[in-house]
A and B are shown apart, each in its own frame.
Chain A
Amino acid sequence: MAGYEEVDVLIIGAGPGGAGVAYELKDTGAKIVCLEQGPWVTPPEHPHYHDEWEIEKQRGWAYDPNVRQLPEDYPVTGTTTPYMMNNVGGSTVHYAGHWPRYKPVDFRKGTEHGLEGTIDWPISYEDLAPFYDRNDAIYGISGLLGDPSYPDRKNAQRDPMVLPGKLGLKYAKASRDLGWHWWPSDNAVITRPRENREADVGHGNELSGSPTGSLSTPAHAHWPYNVRAGVDLRPMSRVETITAEGGRATGAVYIDRNTGNRHEIRAKIVVLAANGIGSPRMLLASAQKGHENGLANSNGMVGKYLMHHVFAFCDSWFDEPVEGFKGSFGSPMYSHEFYHTDMDRGFVNGFGMQVARSFGPSYAAMGTHTGYTAPWGEKHRDFFANHFANHLMVFMFGEDLPVETNAVTLDPEVTDSDGIPAAHVNYELHPNDIALAKYGIEKIFEATRAVGAVETNDTGVLYPPPAWHLMGTCRMGNTPEDSVLNKWCQTWDLPNLFVVDGSTLTTGGAVNPTSTIGALAVRAGEYIKRNYDHITSQRTTPSNADAPTM
C-alpha cells in the first residue's frame, strides 16, 4: 500500500444510509467516495424471468449470507438468521418494500415504560416528519394518505396504491368486521413509471429484488443520480479498518476485491452505513491505539441493544381462491389495532399485522412460511389442489425490548475471506416479547377465522427471529452515557464519524425500519451539508443541546 488519497466525505456502505447521505451531499461540490464491498447487481442476475425462480430463492437469493455465501458476504455466527445483502442498495435489494413510519409514541418508549435498555429517542416524530416526506419522494412510494392511526402526512407524495387482490380484500374485510383498525399499506413500490424504472406489474417476487426497478431501492432511486452528480461509488471495495487520530476519524483502509490490493483513503468526515450488524462489526474491528475497545466504544455500548422485532408467521387457508401469488409482495394492507401498549394485556409495546403475499406452487408444496410441507405420495395431489393459492399469510411482528446482552461482537475465531473478524450475534427473546407475540398470533387467527379460514398453521414465536431488521447497535441517545451517537448521528467519541443505518435506531417500533433509516439519512446528510465547516473543526462531539442546529 503506497500513499493515500484525500476526500471530503467517505461513506462506507451503499445501502439506504450511505445512499441517502450521499444523495443530500451530491450537489455540494464536496469530493465524496462511497466504498461498497459488494457489486452493483445487474438485472440479468435476478431470477424473475426463469422457470426455476422458486428454487433460486434458496440459493444465490437466499436471505441469509451464511446460506447464500456469495463472495461479498461475511459470516455472522451465533444463533441467528441475519437477513442482509452486501451490494449497492444494501439489503433493500431483497426487501419486501413495506414502508410504514414510526408513530410519535415510538420515540418516547423510555417515558412510556423504560424497561430493560429502553430510552427515549433524542428526537421526536415531529422532528423527523419532514425528512420522512423528503425521503419518500426520493424513493417513490405508493399508498394512501389519511390513516387515522398516524399524524397527518399531507406533504407526503404517493403513487396510487398497489392493488389488493383477493388476499388484501379478504383481510381488510376481516379487520373491518371485527371493528379493528386497517389501512392500505405504503409500499416502496412505484405504480407509475419513473426515469429508468418501470411501474409495478404485480409480479410479487420483490424478496428476490426487482430487475425492472419497480421496487424502490437506492440502487435505482439514489445511485444513478449520485453517480451522475459526481459521487465516486466504488463497488467491490471492502473496508478493513476505519482509521483515527487525535480524537477524529481520519479515513479507512480498504481492499479492492477485484485486485486484492489495499488502499488508504483519508477524509474530513466519515459516514459508516454498513447496517446494524456490519457497522458495529466494523467499529469493533477498527480497534487501534487510543481506541483499544474499538472505535466510538469508550462507553462499551457499540454492538449492544440489538433488536430484530419479534416475529411469527401465521398461515391460513380458505376453501376459495386467495391468489397470493399475484401482486407486489409489499403488504397490500396492515392493521395497527394492537400497536399501542395496553397494560390490561400484561405486557408493554405492541405489534402490527401485515398481510403478505405468497409465492408460487413450489412454495406451497414446500410448506409456505410455516413449514407445512405437502405430503408426498397418494395425498399429495389433493393437498396441493386445496392449498396452493388458497393461502393467506400474515406477519405478526412486534416491538422487541432493547436488551443489553443482545449484542453484536467479533467472533474470535471466524473471519471473512479477507481475514476480517466475523460478526457474532447473541440474541435472546425477552419474556415481554414472547407474551406479546403469543397474543398477536391469537388475534391474527381470530381475524382469518372470522372470514372463513378452514385451516391454520403458525410458526409459534420464532427463535431465532427472521432478522430482516438489524437495529439499535449504535443507537442515538441523549448523553454519552446512554448511547453511541448524539441526535445528529455523530459518534460521541469522534465528532466527524457518523453512523447512519439501522444501528442508529434507539428503539424498534413495531414497523419495518427502512423508511425511518432513510429519513434519518436525509436528516444526517442535510445536517452535514449545513454544518460542514463546523463539524470538520470540532474536536469533541457537542451535546444534543450544544450542537449546531439545522
Chain B
Amino acid sequence: MNDALGEKPAPFGAPETTVAPGWGGGFFETGRPRLGGLEQPVRFTDAQAAVLNALADTIIPPHPDWPNASEVDLVAFCGRYITPSGYKNKHFPFADADSFTAALDKLGQAFVDADPAERAKALEALEKAEDPFFEQIRALVYYGYYSRPEVVIAIRRNVPAGKDYHGPPLPYGYIQSLEPWDETTLAQANENGSYLETEQVTRVDLSKLTWTK
C-alpha cells in the first residue's frame, strides 16, 4: 500500500506503488494491464447505466441498418476499462471510476429524458469545456462499439470497403482475400531507380542549402 497517496496497488495483481518520480522505489507503479480489462468490472447503478447508454446513442446515433450503441452492452465495456475507485489511474482511457460516475450522475435522468437535440447540446458543452470526461466517453464508445461482434457483422453488411472485415486479426487473417502482385505491374517496377556506388559519393554543393539555423 502506498500510504503517502492513500492508493491501492493497480488492480491487476501488482505489488506496491511508488510515491512519485524519483522517490525510493522508482517512477513506475508495477503491474501489467489485463487483456480485456478488469476481471471484476466497475459496476454502475441502473441510473448511471441509462445515462451511459444515452451518451452512446448521442455519440453514435441510431440507424436502421446498424445495432444501436445503447444495445451492445457498452456499459460492461466501460466497466472493464475504467479504473476502480482507490486504484491508480494509469492506463488508457485514464478514466477513474469516481470522476466517471460523478459525470454520469451530473448528467442524470434529465439527460436520459432529453430529446436528441438537447442531448447533443449537453455533450457539446462538455466538449467545448474540454471536460476530460468527454474524451473518455467518446473513446470508450468508439473503441467499445466497433469491437462488438454484432457491429462487425453490420460493417460487413453495410460498408463496401469493410465487407471482409472480421474483427480480431487472428486466427483467420486476410490472406485469402488479398490481391497478389500481377506480373505486368511487377515487370514495370524496375523501370526507375538508381543508387550511388561507394566510390561515386562526392561532396555536394552546400552553397545551395536554403535553410538557415
Contacts and interface: CB of A to CB of B under 8 A. Distances in A.
Contacts of B14: 71
A428 to B, nearest CB: 11
Contacts of B29: 69
A148 B159 contact: no
A290 B178 CA distance: 60
B196 A103 contact: yes
Nearest to B179: A165
Describe A's contact surface by its main secondary structure. loop
B36 A126 contact: no
A380 B60 contact: yes
A388 to B, nearest CB: 6
14 contacts: A51-B168, A53-B168, A56-B35, A62-B92, A147-B189, A163-B178, A203-B174, A348-B206, A361-B151, A377-B61, A381-B60, A413-B21, A413-B22, A417-B28
B161 A71 contact: no
Interface string A67-81: 101110111000000
B143 A52 contact: yes
A312 interface: no
B159 A385 contact: yes
Contacts of A53: 147, 168-169
A111 B30 CA distance: 48
A380 B141 CA distance: 12
A54 B146 contact: yes
Nearest to A199: B175
Given A71-B14, A163-B179, 16 more contacts: A51-B149, A111-B203, A148-B193, A150-B195, A168-B181, A202-B174, A203-B169, A211-B170, A326-B177, A348-B206, A348-B209, A376-B138, A417-B18, A430-B213, A431-B212, A434-B211
Contact of B178 (A327, A344, A413): A327
B108 interface: no
Nearest to A377: B120
A164 B183 CA distance: 13
Given A181-B193, A385-B159, A164 B30 contact: no
Contact of A60 (B32, B168, B173): B32
Nearest to B166: A325
Given A71-B32, A326-B174, A435 B210 contact: yes
A58 B92 contact: yes
A377 B60 CA distance: 6
A125 B162 CA distance: 44
Interface stretch (A41-49, A133-141, A243-251): A41-49
Nearest to A51: B147
B26 interface: yes
A462 interface: no
Interface in B170-203: 170-175, 177-181, 185-186, 188-198, 201-203
Given A104-B198, A147-B193, A360-B165, A52 B37 contact: yes
Contact of A149 (B35, B170, B195, B197): B195
Contact of A381 (B63, B189, B190): B63
A169 B90 contact: no
A376 B161 contact: no
Contacts of B93: 58
B195 A417 contact: no
B212 A51 contact: no
A298 to B, nearest CB: 29
Given A148-B194, A346-B209, A381 B66 contact: yes
B11 interface: no
Interface in A261-290: none
B123 interface: yes
B142 A374 contact: yes
B198 A107 contact: yes
Describe B's contact surface by its main secondary structure. loop
Given A103-B196, A164-B181, A389-B159, A361 B146 contact: yes
B209 A414 contact: no
Contacts of A146: 190
A482 interface: no
Interface string B34-72: 011100000000000000000000111101001000000
A111 B36 contact: no
A388 B155 contact: yes
B172 A201 contact: yes
Contact of B170 (A45, A212, A326, A347): A212
A414 B31 contact: no
A365 B92 CA distance: 16
Contacts of B195: 103-105, 148-151, 340
A126 B146 contact: no
Interface string B120-150: 1001000000000000001101111011110
Nearest to A111: B201
Nearest to B174: A326
Contacts of A360: 146, 165, 167
A418 B128 CA distance: 42
B192 A180 contact: yes
A378 interface: yes
A149 B174 contact: no
Interface string B58-95: 11110100100000000001000100000000111100
A172 B189 contact: yes
Given A176-B185, A202-B174, A390-B161, A346 B28 contact: no
Nearest to B28: A69
Contacts of A103: 195-196
Contact of B185 (A60, A169, A377, A385): A169
A431 B36 CA distance: 44
A525 B189 CA distance: 36
B147 A55 contact: yes
Contact of A325 (B147, B160, B174, B189): B174
